[in-house]
Amino acid sequence: MKVSILQENLNKGLSIVSRIINSKVTLPILGNILLTAEEGKLKLTATNLEVSINLWLPAKKEKEGKFTIPAKDLTEFVNALPADKVLLEEKQEKLQVVSGNYKAVFNGTSAAEFPHVPSLKDKKTSSNVGRKFELEVEEFVKAVNLVCFAAAQDETRPVLTGVRLSCLNNELQLVATDGYRLSLKRIDLKEKLDIPTLIIPARALVEVIKAIEQREKPACTGREGEKKLQVAVTKQINQVIFSYGNLEVIARLIEGEFPDFQKIIPEKGESKAVIDTEELIRAVRTASIFARKSANIVRLNFDKKMLTIKANAPEIGENEIKIPVEFEGEKTEIAFNFRFLQDFLSYLDKETLSVELSGALKPGLFRGIKDNSFLHIIMPVRLQGE
């Protein structure tokens, strides 16, 4: 393998693919990046077996080949180089890196030991790809941002660390829940997709979004301003590939039965409040100063045309904030973990928000007034004496 590439492009590419490499790996090879010299491109590949990334960078190939190098060492070295051409050449199971007056030789590992990573661009592996479809990038980014944060971080129930993706009629539905909250977002499609229900690791979808956000850097992700995201499922239905420009994110699907979330979505609350989103964000942020010192609890008291938000902490004191709202129903007090409120409010469009309630111990149902394709449910906190 022998290839030359601009330091700026290589540095950006290494920073993208190395994100998914764990600091503590069970297999040494998983700490490596696979470099593949192709015609007019240098392909970088990294994997942690759950999520993989393929990235093609513009380069001048002098000799085909592939080799793996420890990601951390190579990334740090390239980052320290001046803005100049970088020559990468494999010599006797070592990689020589030369840029101007800088030179290094890295010990590497044969590419044969690197795990297989599928690709839509590789003719040898693309035959293993089953169903393919395209999504509007902007809509998909918005949908993922509105659901991913609700997935569980705890690995004790792996299925809850994923996002359920399914197609019903002409609608794509994304759902995530950690047992304490649930987010659901629907995307309208021009036609029905013939795809199975998939449970995709939330972490993989976050990496897809990060890749899309690099679209203003054509050296990393291909043509600027691309509108379509290609999605493909392998024939074994065990992996999903997201392709955007010159970058692919591949995720191993999660096996298991996703909870029957429809059972916990209330049809309609007994009372309903309409709140200005920005006012609520500001109020929750202010109350959090006290709530984070007292189990993260904030109390919401709905009465006529006013919402009162309270939090108290014995260490520092208490606070009270009043927000004007449109409210229908009986006076209601309910308590939530303020972090759950902040999480979903930070991704919601700054529009008016509706909250439907059916008592202090039943979940609160949040919707955007303009966006009926999204809903969020938060389980309340039981207060002492209730």
pLDDT in tens, the chain (386 residues): 999 999 999 999 999 999 899 888 889 999 999 999 998 999 999 999 999 999 999 999 999 999 999 999 999 999 999 999 999 999 888 999 999 999 999 999 999 999 999 998 877 665 667 778 899 998 999 999 999 999 999 888 999 999 999 998 889 999 999 999 999 999 998 888 888 899 999 999 998 898 778 654 544 444 445 678 999 998 888 999 999 988 999 999 999 999 999 888 887 889 999 999 999 999 999 999 999 988 999 999 999 899 999 999 888 899 999 999 999 999 999 999 999 999 999 988 777 899 999 999 999 999 988 888 999 999 999 876 55
- Does 84 map to a domain? yes
CB 231 within 8 A of CB 132: yes
The pLDDT of residue 356: 94
Whether residues 135 and 256 share a domain: the answer is yes
CB 352 within 8 A of CB 276: yes
Give the separation between CA 386 and CA 369, rounded to whole angstroms: 31
Whether residues 74 and 162 share a domain: the answer is no
Let me know the angle formed at the C-alpha of 256 by 170 and 266, rounded to the nearest 5 degrees. Answer: 55
Whether residues 229 and 273 share a domain: the answer is no
The pLDDT of residue 218: 46
Whether residues 145 and 189 share a domain: the answer is yes
CA 283 to chain centre: 27
CA nearest to 239, candidates 110, 30, 54:
54
Write down which residue in 62, 81, 113 finishes a domain.
113
Whether residues 354 and 280 share a domain: the answer is yes
Whether residues 91 and 153 share a domain: the answer is no
Whether residues 15 and 107 share a domain: the answer is yes
Structural domain span for residue 132: 123-261
- Does 386 map to a domain? no
Give the separation between CA 373 and CA 351, rounded to whole angstroms: 14
- Does 91 map to a domain? yes
Q: Which residue intervals of 148-232 are DSSP H helices?
A: 202-212, 218-221
- Does 140 map to a domain? yes
CA nearest to 189, candidates 156, 145, 231:
231
Give the separation between CA 163 and CA 165, rounded to whole angstroms: 6
Whether residues 252 and 132 share a domain: the answer is yes
Burial class, 290, CB count within 10 angstroms (exposed 0-12 / middle 13-18 / buried 19+): buried
Write down which residue in 229, 245, 261 finishes a domain.
261
pTM across the whole model: 0.87
Whether residues 333 and 363 share a domain: the answer is yes
Total domain count, the chain = 3
- Does 256 map to a domain? yes
The pLDDT of residue 300: 96
Write down which residue in 113, 143, 168 finishes a domain.
113
Whether residues 53 and 68 share a domain: the answer is yes
Whether residues 240 and 311 share a domain: the answer is no
Whether residues 253 and 129 share a domain: the answer is yes
The pLDDT of residue 80: 96
User: What are the tokens at 211?
Assistant: 């890749």
- Specify the CATH number for the domain of residue 35: 3.10.150.10
